[in-house]
Amino acid sequence: MKRPIGLVLSVFIVAAIVIGYLIYNRFRPTVSRIARLRQYLANPEDHTDWMIRGGERCGEAPFVLPTDGYIGFFWGDSFSSGHRHQGIDIFSPDGLGLTPVIAAYDGYLTRLPEWRSAVIVRIAKDPFHPDRQIWAYYTHMADAEGNSFVAPDFPPGTYEKFVPTGTLLGYQGNYSADPANPTGVHLHFSIVKDDGKGEFMNELEIRNTLNPSPYLGIEVNADRISSEPAVCSE
């Protein structure tokens, strides 16, 4: 009886080591990036080479970059077991309500009546797949109390208002829907799939979003990024 018990115990230990390694490997990039994000937030002016610039186009990418700042979290990052980040988070170098957010591509803007900090822009023809439409989602444009930084041209209840590339949509904020626990000042930007009936899918699920990398011309897929900051290549 000792041999089978010992074998089972050995298999259990090996499995635990493998699972632990896989968990460590999944969360390690996020941990290292948090350390660099803290370094950036402490002194953004010392790390301008880590930043992207709103309105800049990276190479031949179809989208322009939607705001200034440091890309701190990526599409596919893991913050908790079973949840993966659905877009990218771009952290302001300036502070609350100061960093402009612009339309990355032509489209038709909607702001639902209950949205304090967000807008979504319908792009009728995906530049990579013209037979489908996609949606560009911009959020956290309010302060911790929910006072909106969305541009006044887009009040709650705005539907299908055309916005050309570069249109001012608002300013970066730290709204989280919990005043006691605001986020850092940033823009969350994601590309959301259409449901096939002309409506956007639930952005909270990564399976309903697209990897923004080809649209922005910067590698922002957490599974593929290097150890360097994500910026436009020379």
Cα distance between residue 209 and residue 226, in whole Å: 22
In tens, the pLDDT along 145-154 reads 999 999 999 9
The pTM of the full predicted model, rounded to 2 decimals, is: 0.86
Residue from 192, 230, 228, 221 nearest 65 by CA: 230
Q: Using 50, 70 and 90 to split pLDDT, how confident is the model at 182? A: confident
Count the Cβ atoms, other than its own, within 10 Å of residue 80. 7
In tens, the pLDDT along 21-74 reads 333 344 445 677 788 999 999 999 999 999 999 999 999 999 999 999 999 999
CB 210 within 8 A of CB 134: yes
Q: What residue ranges define each of the domains in the chain, with the CATH number in brackets?
A: 2-216 (2.70.70.10)
Q: Is pLDDT above 60 for 88?
A: yes
- DSSP summary character for residue 63: S
